[in-house]
Structure 1
Amino acid sequence: MDSESFGKGFANGDFWVVHGYAEIFIKNLMKNKEHIQTLYIPEKGDTAYVDSFVILKDAPNKEAAYKFLEFIHRPENYKLVSEHLELPSINVPARELIEVEPIYKMEDLKGSEILRDIKKTLDIQNKYWQEIMVD
């Protein structure tokens, strides 16, 4: 298991079932639609993730970092990010500007949950990950 080749592996028939990042998975599948039987986003729940911008406490140029964040979050710029990635926008004003259809919609993720305190679940996640990797 890895976080990058599952989409290609599924698309070319090496894998029968995969779990992975939707944007990687779907983009690879769109190239080989004849392999698709079912695309499933769980309605009752799955784990969501959030990509984040982070500024280190001891960053040498915090002012420039904040200016970059302000720039990227302007709706006209965030529109470009969302269109390039073909993902729904978390920037609400940018949603009105987007012209490229995302590969999934925000409402498709209504049952998703972001794990806010990983310390509470890390042991059980590691336990099941180890079981998956052994099999």
Structure 2
Amino acid sequence: MMNRIYNFVSAALGLALVGLGVSGGAAAAAPDGSGSAEAGPPAAVASCTTIDTKTYALVVHLALYRCEDGWYGLVYGQTRVGMQVYLRSAANTITGLRTVAVDNRGTFTPRVGIHGGPWKACANIRGAEICTIRD
């Protein structure tokens, strides 16, 4: 029961962070994830599907979202400057690397499209990599 409550609170926190616009930068993203990138979340994350979430040390959370325009990763919670969030392709290459610039502020990856998938979101937290499942 506590695990369900914790998962619900984690998901709600993620959506709250999205509502606050918790990312920086903006540029057009290449549909295959290989070109320039957009650091912001999709325009309407509420219409996106949360594929998976992972938690590190009970305070840092990682999520993979599938939206109409592609996939996004998000790291949030007690993040620290220097933590990294990115997407890994089916070939295990890193795409859309973003570094957390402000403590305790969520950071999205750029959008990636269908080429190179299935995708998983990963974060480098204190030298340890955690990843969601692939979609």
Which one has a larger percent helix, Structure 1 or Structure 2? 1
Which one has a larger percent strand, Structure 1 or Structure 2? 2
TM-score, with length taken from structure 2: 0.20
TM-score, with length taken from structure 1: 0.20
